[in-house]
Each structure stands twice: as C-alpha cells, then as structure tokens.
Amino acid sequence: MSGRDRPAEALVEEVLAGKHRALARVITHVENRTPGYRAIVGRLHTHATDTHVIGITGSPGAGKSTLVDKMATRYRDRGLTVGIIAIDPSSPYTGGAVLGDRIRMASNVGDMDVFFRSMSARGSLGGLSTATTDAITALDAFGKDRIIVETVGAGQNEIDIVRTADSVVVLVPPSSGDEVQMLKAGILEIGDLFAVNKADLEGTDRTVMELEEMIMLREDNPTLDAGHHGATSADPSGEPDDREGWEPPVLETVAETGAGVEDLLETLADHRSWLDHSGMREQRARGRIAETIRTLLREDANGLVEAELEALGGIGAVVDRIRAGETDPYTAVDRVFASLQGVEEAEPASPADENAD
C-alpha cells in the first residue's frame, strides 16, 4: 500500500470500527467528490451487507421529516440503529444543502445510534445526488440496521429514489386533489407503500379511496412497469415468477403524534420479506449496481470530454469556429472523439492540392 493510500485505509478502518466522526468524514469526502473518495467507497463496498434501505418521498408539506423522526424513534425502541439521509434543495450559489443546518430530527438529537446527514440535491430538484448511493454504502458498511432516505418532494423527479431504496413510501396529505393528480404524472408508479399522513384532518377518507382506486388502475394496466412491484418479475434464470405480487397498501398516519407509525414499520417489514421471497431484492440490488456503473462511466466520460475540449482551446474557441463558418457542431464533436481515440485529424485538402491533381 502506498503512503498516499494509508490515510484512506485508516479512515475505512475507523468507519468499520463504528466511529461516527469517521463516518461523517467519509460522507463529506463523498459529497464533495474529494480526490481519493472512490478508493474509500470501494473498500467500504466490500463490507456492505445490503441492509434495508427505505425511501420516503412526497410533496413538500406532507410531513416527511416528522414521519422519519418518528420512524427512527420506533426503530430505536426496537434496539435497531438508524442512518438517515435527507436530500435538501441545493443553494444556487454554493451547491450546498440550503436546509442542512435545521434541526429536523428533534426526537433523536443526542442519540449516537441515529446518524443524520443532510445532503444537497446538487441541482436535481427532488432527485438524488450521485453521492447518495455512496453515502448509503458507507452507512451500510458502518453497520446501520435501517437506512432512511428522505427526498425533497418536487414531483416526477422523485423516481430517482427507486434506484436507491428497497422500499419506497409515498406520503400524501389529505384533501389534496392536486397531489393525487400529480401522482398520475409518474410518482404513483414508484410507491411500494402509500401513507396518507396528517390523517386526523378532514378529507382523509376521500384521499385514501382515490389512492386505492388509482393503485387498482395501475395494477390492471399492463403498460406500466409492473416489474418494480413484482407483478411481472422474473427469477435469475429468466423464467417468469408466478408467485403472488405485491399490492401497494394505503395506510393512515399522523406523524405528529406517532399514530399509525407502528403499522407502517410492520408493513415495511412485510415488504422486505416479500422482496426476499420473490427474488425482487436481488433484482433491485443488481439494478442499482448497474445504474451506479452507468453513472460513474458518464462522470468519467464527461471529464475526458471536458479535458479534451480544453486542449482544443475550450468550448468558446470551438463555438467561435462554428460561428465563423469554419466547421459545424457535428464535425467539432467528431474531432473531439477522434482526438480521444488517438486518431489524427485528416487535414482538409487545399484548393492548390486539388489543382495539382
């Protein structure tokens, strides 16, 4: 091991030894994409145990943070440790999480077995930053029994969480006809469980009924991607899985008082058992790894392209040549990739050369 690798190895050993300060440092390296972070995550990846990752999503004001707080408290009552990642909106100036300094988990402040980290969505409102998967790996290797990821809740972009979580809970407030209509735009398809939060308010019964009807329509619609919910899953051999699929239930919760939270945790446990029994847990894990590989390849490819553009004088110089009529966007792109591949660009024939022929 080189001297340069020893600090990273020491940090990994501290994480595996259960030191929360080391865990926080690793996630900071991951979020900032500090040089060497990949080596750290790579080492931690071999120690991950595929703990249960739960995604909590829904519109702003649905009570996600309060519900996550109560979930963590109930898990701690059961003797389980919890890791929480809250995806916050990005600052347009720093790229950081603008809500990162707020106290969102009031019931668990001071409990070292509840690790909370606020992370920036990095410009993808409602979506997960590419660092979130790595942070989950760190929490998993650390030994957290449950990992909860709470998203911003800005609409259809919440489908990003599917690639990260084993079980996705979609929160909907009562009397929110607009919210239920929004679910039709895409977020309905990602939910494994639906919870009408603030169920002590008027309109809860109607919202529950509307959700149940929409889920029924979804399950009856063969054009939707039912594989996420198991209706058309397949085992590793490629043969169709004829085991009963998972029908997303609609629960009622009042996060402020904790009402319904126990039922939610029990239903999440049932969903985890179904994932294991049906083979969908392995299928989702493979899908997450494949998506991580694609993401890393895109990041590296983008870096190579940017470096090559700089070597050619920068994007501004290329634009100047196009505006001057010296080239076109397609030829410019071909030149960049030809250079990346080590292919010498053929010089265009001059009029003198043509006349000589």
The pLDDT score that the predictor gives to residue 208 is: 92
pTM of this structure? 0.81
The pLDDT score that the predictor gives to residue 179 is: 62
Q: How far apart are CA 157 and CA 288, in angstroms?
A: 17
Q: How far apart are CA 35 and CA 95, in angstroms?
A: 18
Q: What angle do CA 167, 170, 171 make, to 5 degrees?
A: 135
Quote the tokens at residue 45.
Answer: 């990846």
The pLDDT score that the predictor gives to residue 11 is: 94
By CB atoms closer than 10 A (0-12, 13-18, 19+), residue 231 is middle
Alpha-carbon distance values, 296 to 38, 291, 305 (Å)? 10, 9, 14
H/E element, 187 = none
Kindly write down the DSSP assignment for every residue of 300-316, as one continuous string. HHHHHHHHHHHHTT-HH
- Strand order through the sheet with 193-196: 114-120, 82-88, 146-150, 52-58, 167-172, 193-196, 250-252
The pLDDT score that the predictor gives to residue 134 is: 92
Domains recognised in the chain with CATH numbers: 49-278 (3.40.50.300), 295-347 (no CATH)
Q: How far apart are CA 30 and CA 134, in angstroms?
A: 7
The tens place of each residue's pLDDT in the chain, 357 residues long, gives 444 566 888 999 999 999 999 999 999 999 888 999 999 999 999 999 989 999 998 878 889 999 999 999 999 999 999 999 998 765 444 455 445 434 455 566 667 899 999 887 654 544 456 788 899 999 999 999 999 999 877 555 567 777 789 999 999 889 756 666 666 556 777 889 999 999 999 989 999 998 898 888 776 665 544 445 444 333 443 433 433 589 999 999 999 999 999 999 999 999 999 999 999 999 989 988 888 888 889 888 999 999 999 988 999 999 999 999 999 999 999 989 888 887 655 444 444 444 444
Handedness of CA 223, 231, 281, 144 (dihedral sign): positive
Q: Do 234 and 240 touch, CB atoms closer than 8 A?
A: yes
Long-range residue pairs from 313-318, CB within 8 A, at least 24 positions apart, any chain:
none
